[in-house]
Amino acid sequence: MTAGAYRALLFAASQLVGQFAAGALTPFVRIYLAFCFAASLTPGLHLEALAKAVKTAVS
């Protein structure tokens, strides 16, 4: 494999990872933060377990 082909392959892989992070992980992180915020404001709703489930799904 030549250096040019290796760089092109590495660039394509990094673009795929970036698109996945922007399309899938970022919304889940936002949902997690929203649940944490809501759980701190209204402890009666018991959203901690739901926020913990979203966190384990993302990480």
CA distance 44 to 59: 26
CB-based contact 28:54 (threshold 8 Å) = yes
CA distance 30 to 27: 5
Other CB atoms within 10 A of residue 32 CB:
20
Residue 9 forms part of a structural domain: no
Range of the domain at 59: 24-59
Give the pLDDT of residue 17.
92
Q: How many domains does the chain have?
A: 1
Is the pLDDT higher at 4 or at 28? 4
Residue 47 forms part of a structural domain: yes
Residue 17 forms part of a structural domain: no
Mean pLDDT of 28-50: 84
Number of residues written out for the chain: 59
